[in-house]
Structure 1
């Protein structure tokens, strides 16, 4: 058969997690917690399962959960998204992003992404005939070159995909960054997908800047987010998307024939769990403590750390250890030193290699201690 993605290999996350399992290495590669979610969330899931909330949920999602999202967005970003017309619950943020791309991209459309970028973006665009135009952000600051962005936005530019806080760099783009993008797109017919899955993992008093705060762009922006990140349940695959009414109408046309609806008892359980605002407002401090603990433990190594302003990743240059490529170094670290990481080149379209790897610190203290002991012996 003719492959739609002939050059695509198995995702780096699968590769590194498999390698970690094969060699009994500590998995700091794939971004998931190794600790349990709050017991009340599990109890609520059981309750709704036993109460027979086991049939199809509404296509757009459970009402209580959509109302929560609407209220939270208005509270934090001072923007109203109508829970019936402008909010949809999705099968994780990845499905939200994929569906948004499917809804707007046609053959020949150009799509700008900022690299390093989550590895879903490029193949999803290409699957629908789009042409990716990457803008490379580089070590150690990962700042956007706005003159480069301005020059790349043409009449063929249909979409910009933006990730804030950024995975893998941990960078938080500030209010002035969003304003710069708004100015460049002012007279352009271009949509935005704003991937904001780490919105509640910002550190050092940085405030998450959502595109929901830019009224002029609301009607052409999809904002995607993840309850998996918010509630420590990545395996539940529950996320959501915000968009203006007309844009959401197109999104739902694809969504209803893709997954149709999302796991019903999970939606009710999450809605109940988030009634207590501390369950998400305390996430910043919770993960900052883990970041600080892990980075302090790395301070006695020769890794050169990139400041992690957000997400639950810390990234570092390993140039003081090796001249190997980042993929080879990550493989060696897994097999010989028993710590699995992700090489940054996997986040660039041309495997651009600055000798940087990514660690996930969303782990129990015992896991981090074991990893730090091994890394300090390099």
Structure 2
């Protein structure tokens, strides 16, 4: 009898697909999956049209269009003038951030190695680690501000530890690493052969005068860090699936060796459109934090009369809400089901981002990358949820 043995047998369907399907089945308002319900900038859409009609429809260079790589390099050096990046050797344009994360893990993590993750964590990390026969070591962040317990990191590191995955600004909690967080990491790993994979896809969405620090801003980490970014998050085009990887030449060469067989190259007209738009509209990124902070504030203002509680998101376009006062006996998956069926609104249970979620967890993730009308409808629904 024919039998198969999957390499990652327990992954199943992602929670994002599950909840979006639930929203569609129940005709519920979907604030679960992280994508805008408003249009991308019209000039960006026009740039894509122009790129296709002007013939940018064949394979681009595998490492990405040089002009776009130069712009990525410039964005990093504008934020940190002490940083020097070579667009030819230190920047690769990828078919989204998720595949870049996957390729970085495949390039440097071996069977038997260990990779430290901070939970709640993005759901693609652990399966990519499992595929190479390595072990994901999960460390729970400390609620309510989702801070790192650095002693747990010290205790988790051993001779098998090959990589630590950092995500800042953090999905799903919106927490942002401080400079001190990075200095703590530097001190802990300085005498270990550990790579830092830094998922920074929400780097331009930081609120309340907080500052985003990249792994490569720190000279002590530069030689051992791989930074992943996303154009989709920053330009309201998640469906374009275009991201980038930044690293030293020593790390970039093995990354590219894996990436060329995983995707070979990104989409040519999308890269050209992004290149043209960034060149012609530099204010877009500069205004992005204020744009999304206004949406966060609008969403939270609409919930002031509700029975939810929260810590305001420091970054990303996600906000977690605590429902303890409303349905304390329900776990977060049950609460999502309750909200979908009884109130016709869908969120993501935070436990989906954990290997071992705390039993006391009563948090849901909502996406506020939505039109004001959508957010108004959402806050009206959520404010109508009665106490238990």
Specify which of 235, 239, 244 is matched with residue 243 of structure 2.
239
Check conservation: 1:77, 1:210, Cα contact below 8 A: no
Map of 1:44 onto structure 2: 47
Check conservation: 2:142, 2:149, Cα contact below 8 A: no
Map of 2:378 onto structure 1: 371
Map of 2:348 onto structure 1: 342
1:132 paired with 2:139, answer: no
Q: What is the Cα deviation at residue 312 of structure 1?
A: 0.4
Map of 1:72 onto structure 2: 75
1:288 paired with 2:293, answer: yes
Distance 1:27 1:76 in 2: 35
Where does 1:229-378 land on structure 2 (aligned, <5 Å)? 229-275=233-279, 276-322=281-327, 323-353=329-359, 354-378=361-385
Check conservation: 1:77, 1:212, Cα contact below 8 A: no
Specify which of 144, 163, 188 is matched with residue 167 of structure 2.
163
Q: What is the Cα deviation at residue 62 of structure 1?
A: 0.3
Check conservation: 2:142, 2:148, Cα contact below 8 A: no
3-state SS in 1 of match to 2:88:
coil
Q: What is the Cα deviation at residue 287 of structure 1?
A: 0.3
Deviations 1:41-88 (A, max 9, x none): 000100010111000010000011000011111110231221011100
Map of 2:65 onto structure 1: 62
Specify which of 218, 226, 231 is matched with residue 227 of structure 1.
231
The structure 1 segments of at least 4 consecutive aligned residues displaced by more than 6 Å after TM superposition are none
Distance 2:143 2:326 in 1: 17
3-state SS in 1 of match to 2:170:
coil
Q: What is the Cα deviation at residue 351 of structure 1?
A: 4.0
Structure 2 unmatched runs, 5+ = none
Structure 1 unmatched runs, 5+ = none
Check conservation: 1:171, 1:307, Cα contact below 8 A: no
3-state SS in 2 of match to 1:182:
helix
Distance 1:350 1:184 in 2: 24
Check conservation: 1:165, 1:199, Cα contact below 8 A: yes
Q: What is the Cα deviation at residue 341 of structure 1?
A: 0.3
Deviations 1:161-192 (A, max 9, x none): 00001111111110010011011111100001
Distance 2:47 2:204 in 1: 22
Q: What is the Cα deviation at residue 307 of structure 1?
A: 2.0
3-state SS in 1 of match to 2:137:
strand
Deviations 1:119-169 (A, max 9, x none): 111111011111011111132121111111111111110000000011111
Map of 1:30 onto structure 2: 33
Q: CA RMSD in A?
A: 0.9
188-197 or 344-353: bigger deviation? 344-353
Distance 1:11 1:188 in 2: 34
Distance 1:122 1:257 in 2: 21
**Paired residues, what number?**
378
Check conservation: 1:66, 1:88, Cα contact below 8 A: yes
Q: What is the Cα deviation at residue 376 of structure 1?
A: 1.2
Check conservation: 1:169, 1:306, Cα contact below 8 A: no
TM-score, with structure 1 as normaliser: 0.99
Specify which of 109, 125, 140 is matched with residue 105 of structure 1.
109
